[in-house]
Structure 1
């Protein structure tokens, strides 16, 4: 039987009429079908020529193939002896390339729902994908995620930021809140690197201890500065694993927590006085401003002042550095930016069916976010010089100044 050939004139005419190259009824789909079938027939001819025993062609079987150009019926040639194993399109293979899978994962990494992904694939490629198919494709991220979570880390990170974000995950028929612990590091080159994601039933210093132990076991032997929120017991958890690490409590977290206890009519005036504390040029000036804050507001808001006093050693650690070092460490904003990326991905989802469905989505988001982390943070060379002075003998083996 003579095989139909691709009609170039008809294709050019269709193109001029504005028809799509790919997708449902795409111009290129018949050409891809023709080229694939021709290649497979040549593959069978080569197989038959190499056989010692008598063998011959035995018709073909049809199956629906999915490709980036659209779906089509592929006629796969057969041999009488059943020894032919096609390589171009293998048995049980239904996708011509992995381009479709890459497209699904790319859409998934942008936070698209399965419904949005199905609609997009149908419009572009002219094929229908089930939720099960999409789930099977995105599940391919899970082994990669596991390898990423277990990878070896660098021996020293000059700065790390630690924070948690919460999600609803279905467990035993009901949705419960769980914490995702995120650790963002700044490596010796000044580039951001997400060190790990950890999931727990709730945020707490005890679980942070296991997280830090995991970092140590994966090769992190020293951390110069750890920027954390105000969780009770957090500094002690860090100190138990990294006793030489300097703790910097997030000033912005402290301000937010303080303002919860200040009457709305006093917030503007209180904030103006508080700004003199955390924006002071020197530690002495900050402590004087704190004294003045207490003198003015201590009777009205004693618990707020007490909180600043009790945490002052870790709240004020950044004052010893110049402005370009203070900026990245006085707040956990760097890791909160990662959490903002996570929220963009998950904003349309009220909850997750299981832990893996959440983790693979966040991991896809990490891959997307880290594409921008190709350069050191601003003033990194100056920052590194300052850290070498403040932390003598801890950086020399890793850098040459």
Structure 2
């Protein structure tokens, strides 16, 4: 029998292939060499444990080399190893350590396949074929149904009566509707409760950002227990602000500053973004409305030649922005400091952009729910300087604030 060294020498001597398949293909030279090296390493491992090479074992010893061949999975592919495997080795070779798939990894795989429109039976076959994971179709079905049930409970849970600040944000996604790919708008309501902790109050799917959609969202929040919101920050057409006033007459509506900045940067190169963000901050962080107007004029003078639409957008919304400067600095910081909410928005946009189209609205909501559930795990601390802002709220909205 040839030694491993002789096998390697023969392989190298016989190699005369002119195409990539002969080198890196299923039966290419690299996989054959890897297979020989692994077999030698496993044989040496047995010798290290006290066994002579290919020595027979007596049945009385209770150790039989009756194992079958084992495919080893790695960056080198799946060369089939044929070591003299023993059924009851006390010390198993490190190369053959069983690494079961993590339940979390399996769940992620199931969800990823489910939102693409695959049935439980199709998911079962795919996992078995591609990952070697054996999960019954019944288990997959039960898991996907549990996600749907959890989403339904979350969307119907009761809410607190008062939220000092509520942000209305939108995410777009592609969904199949009667065989056609259409754009859906997902509305998210993120509230800051009296303790200063942020929470995603709900998530809704609609055809556009119209007034009817906004009215339905706010009405559902009222039905779930929200009787008052002090400030609502929403980005969108003027009719959204008017609709919010109709549903909650006493609410003060503000443009969602972070969303305005985000929309302004859509067509700005990465090279210019940092400088432009700094100039926009000078506008909405100005101490007074007069100073903000001066900063806006300076911004227009600097950027209108290359990006005229940005200053125009701010001027169109200027009357809606002005009330921001009537608040104290403590309240204004809370309103426009929304880094964690922007991080959530980016996470949701990433999962929608990674998929061409969702099979239906439900599967879109399920994936977004799992994403935001993971992204908001650390939302357990109050926003920065919340106590100072809450004190100002009690002065501005004294009769609407609860007495403790």
Matches within 5 A, 1:44-59: none
User: For 2:226, what is the secondary structure of its paired residue?
Assistant: coil
Q: CA deviation at 1:387?
A: 1.4
Output the TM-score relative to the length of structure 2: 0.63
1:100-147: CA deviations, max 9, x gaps?
5x65335567899889x9799769995334889646522321111111
Aligned counterpart, 1:157: 163
CA–CA distance in structure 2, aligned partners of residues 261 and 345 of structure 1:
21
Q: CA deviation at 1:291?
A: 6.5
Matches within 5 A, 1:107-122: none
Q: Evaluate the alpha carbon distance shift between residue 134 and residue 351 of structure 1 in structure 2; reply closer, same or farther with a 3 A threshold.
A: farther
Which of the numbers 16, 20, 23 marks the counterpart of 2:97?
A: 20
Aligned counterpart, 2:151: 145
- Higher share of residues assigned helix: 2
Which of the numbers 335, 341, 352 marks the counterpart of 2:347?
A: 341
Which 5+ residue runs of structure 1 have no aligned equivalent?
A: 1-6, 24-67, 69-98
User: For 1:196, what is the secondary structure of its paired residue?
Assistant: strand
CA RMSD of aligned residues (A): 4.3
Aligned counterpart, 1:206: 212
- Whether the aligned pair in 2 keeps the contact of 1:149 and 1:196 (CA below 8 Å) is yes
CA–CA distance in structure 2, aligned partners of residues 301 and 107 of structure 1:
43
Aligned counterpart, 1:179: 185
Aligned counterpart, 1:242: 248
User: For 1:190, what is the secondary structure of its paired residue?
Assistant: coil
User: Aligned residue pairs: how many?
Assistant: 313
1:331-354: CA deviations, max 9, x gaps?
765543222122333443111111
- Higher share of residues assigned strand: 1
Q: Evaluate the alpha carbon distance shift between residue 196 and residue 8 of structure 1 in structure 2; reply closer, same or farther with a 3 A threshold.
A: farther
Aligned counterpart, 1:329: 335
CA–CA distance in structure 1, aligned partners of residues 316 and 290 of structure 2:
17
CA–CA distance in structure 2, aligned partners of residues 295 and 143 of structure 1:
54
CA–CA distance in structure 1, aligned partners of residues 322 and 305 of structure 2:
23
Is 1:286 the counterpart of 2:292 in the alignment? Answer: yes
Q: Evaluate the alpha carbon distance shift between residue 108 and residue 317 of structure 1 in structure 2; reply closer, same or farther with a 3 A threshold.
A: farther
Output the TM-score relative to the length of structure 1: 0.64
Q: Evaluate the alpha carbon distance shift between residue 280 and residue 136 of structure 1 in structure 2; reply closer, same or farther with a 3 A threshold.
A: same
User: For 2:376, what is the secondary structure of its paired residue?
Assistant: helix
